[in-house]
Amino acid sequence: MSLNLFNLTGKIAIVTGASRGLGQYLARALALAGADLVITSRTLESLQEFTAEIESLGRRVLPLALDVGNHQSIQEMAEAAYSHYGKIDILVNNAGCNVRKPAVDVSWDDWNLVLNTNLRGGFFVAQAVAKKMIPARYGRIINIGSVTTVAGYAGITPYCASRGGVKQMTMSLADDWGQHGITVNCLAPGWFKTAQTKVLYDNEEWVDYLIDRIPLKRVGQPHDLDGTVIFLASDASAYMTGQTLLIDGGISTGATKATV
Ligand SMILES: NC(=O)c1ccc[n+]([C@@H]2O[C@H](COP(=O)([O-])OP(=O)(O)OC[C@H]3O[C@@H](n4cnc5c(N)ncnc54)[C@H](OP(=O)(O)O)[C@@H]3O)[C@@H](O)[C@H]2O)c1
């Protein structure tokens, strides 16, 4: 066994939603493992600082505009990435959003925004990129899930529905594209502190409650996703597809207190 199994030198990785948060954690990890990157956001300006950071690591990086709610934008991103590098090896399908409301207050538009971004958007990005991977008979697609991929929570019903869908989509695409040498897996993070979860982390009582329920007794830190994304993007996971890996300090084990 060689540690070269985890080396991504020469690989081209697209990370969607890399203007902040988990997208940057994941993209940085892939770059440190050797990959050259395509990073995306709806606004190119928000990628400037991170582009410079990745370049300072000695990696090539192509910042591209992408709105996963727009079919044309998805096609243009995949074409631009492919024509720039001549191939796409890895996709991290990370762009996503959430709407926090009691289920009775969720509007038609709330539902469409969350489902169309997290599920429809993820599918069509994967499809556009897979069309480039299939002729090469190689690809690693990593869909970002969540603890809500395997559990439901009050106040975020559309989000949970979208993330449950990501798990099923991952299995279906794995079955469909395995014959072309493409693996499709889901990396499901726990509750990390980012712009999307700021409203929760601003509440110290909630943070104490969360940590109490996490078996490893701490919240996720940026580097906690590094090993898993590199594993799923590399030859180390060559015979694994259709799976969901929860990187959540164990909270999805259902660590509810059963004693007092
Ligand atoms: N934070 C957590 O604890 C956690 C846990 C599990 C899963 N997740 C998931 O992991 C992903 C990243 O989460 P985060 O916490 O880093 O969220 P975040 O800080 O809100 O970042 C979301 C990213 O998605 C992009 N995005 C949103 N809507 C988009 C659209 N229509 N088209 C293209 N890009 C879009 C944003 O880019 P622009 O706004 O720059 O376009 C941004 O880069 C999300 O899918 C989230 O649901 C987060």
Percent with pLDDT over 70 in the chain: 98
State the distance from the centre of ligand 1 to the C-alpha of 182, rounded, in angstroms. Answer: 24
Other beta carbons within 10 Å of 118: 27
Pocket test for ligand 1, best of 194, 197, 252 (most atoms within 8 A of CB): 194
- Domain extent listing, the chain: 3-193+222-246
182 DSSP β-pair partners? 139
Pocket test for ligand 1, best of 196, 197, 229 (most atoms within 8 A of CB): 196
Which pLDDT score, from 0 to 100, does residue 254 have?
75
For domain 3-193+222-246, say whether CATH 1.10.1040.10 is its number.
no
State the distance from the centre of ligand 1 to the C-alpha of 250, rounded, in angstroms. Answer: 22
Mean confidence (pLDDT) of the chain: 96
pLDDT band at residue 115 using 50, 70 and 90 as cut-offs: very high
The answer to whether residues 167 and 150 touch, using CB atoms and an 8 Å cutoff, is yes
Q: Which of 154, 162, 216, 161 is nearest to 190 (CA)?
A: 216
30 pLDDT higher than 60: yes
d(CA 162, CA 168): 10
Q: Which of 93, 81, 119 is nearest to 185 (CA)?
A: 93
Eight-class DSSP state of 116: I
